[in-house]
Amino acid sequence: MLRVLVTGAAGLIGGEVCARLAARGHAVTAMVRRNPEVRGNDGALVDGLRVVRGDVTLPLMGLAPEPQDVVMHCAAHLDFDAPEAELHAVNVAGTQNALDHAREAGAAFLHVSTAYVCGDRDGHIVEGPVPEGTCFTNRYEASKAAGERVVEASGLRFVIARPSIVLGDSATGAIRDFPSLCNVFRLMARGKVTRLPVAGGATFDCVPIDHVAEGLVALAERMDEAAAGHFHLVGDEPMPVAELAAGVARVPHFPDPEIVPPEGYEPEGPLAQRMIATFGPYFTRSPRFDDSRFRAATGLACPPTDRAWLDRLIAYGIKRGYLPSPPA
């Protein structure tokens, strides 16, 4: 049995990780900030854990350290457009506060980052430190890379886990909270975006929430073997960006978005303009994340992230009312 402190436990990843850790008999301390409810991806409250209130922007996260085996740091500021100072306070200085807490608690540190610390690099991306001189496409990516550097310099036993874009369950498409990428589906399904500017060959890497949560638990249980490692928790194959529009078009009551070249594209209105400002760089590149070290360390392989999975994601969005229902 491990003693695990999970930060960001009320979040999508943190909640599902807590559910899986508790189900395996580990002693889980779930740290929340405002929302006291820790729920798994199925929406059910997680039993068998202790909930504490903390804040990563405070020294030692505002908590009196208690003996722990692992601090799993899921808490993060996820807004691509947030001011640099806000992102630094949570994703960099907040990571340092979590590290200080782990040191006082005698714990190893499992840091949840993002695969997109690759920045604007294309092609094969290895599981290792972010290269010097990497150019990032938004302040969020830069802050997460800076957070990784703080972890690497800490002197603690650490593991850095890098999920890609986390979407719904591999079997059902279910997701407790819809992440920001889902707004692209929503805008196209509602006819607010009729043209999607995509460079030829551009891909997203999307990963099911169950693969990410199971992978984080597996790494927590293997901290000695995985120590000082960087691990990609990613889809089995990148998804062509154009497939997002194709998935919308396959739904009979949705519009049929047009794929257009990015050159000369003019947003159709403020919603499309905001979408391009947030996701535009992700429509023009194709990183390929190597996850061979993760698979060797955990024995886990991601379920198919194919067209059938995308269709399940969209069907679940309709069922939940997030995407438009068929007309009566």
Average pLDDT value for residue range 160-186: 95
pLDDT exceeds cutoff 90 at 112: yes
Share of the chain above pLDDT 90, in %: 93
Average pLDDT value for residue range 168-189: 95
Lowest mean pLDDT, pick from 135-139, 221-225, 236-240, 268-272: 268-272
Q: How confident is the model at residue 277 (pLDDT cuts 50, 70, 90)?
A: confident
**pLDDT one-digit tens code per residue, 248-275:** 999 999 999 999 999 989 988 898 898 8
Give the pLDDT score at 65: 96
Give the pLDDT score at 12: 97
Residues near 226 by Cβ (< 8 Å), separated by ≥ 6? Answer: 159, 219, 297
Give the pLDDT score at 212: 98
Give the pLDDT score at 328: 82
Give the pLDDT score at 11: 97
Q: Strand 239-240 relative to strand 287-289: parallel, antiparallel, unpaired?
A: unpaired
Task: Provide the token pair at 188.
Answer: 């196209």
pTM of whole model > 0.85? yes
Average pLDDT value for residue range 108-117: 98
Average pLDDT value for residue range 50-59: 98
CA distance 38 to 50: 10
Q: Strand 3-7 relative to strand 206-208: parallel, antiparallel, unpaired?
A: unpaired
Q: Within 13 Å, how many C-alpha atoms sit on residue 200's CB side?
A: 0
Give the pLDDT score at 152: 98
**pLDDT one-digit tens code per residue, 121-155:** 999 999 999 999 999 999 999 999 999 999 999 99
pLDDT exceeds cutoff 90 at 81: no
φ, ψ for residue 313, nearest 5 deg = -60, -45
Closest CA to 233 of 113, 104, 103, 148: 113
φ, ψ for residue 196, nearest 5 deg = -115, 115
- Say which DSSP state 61 is in: G
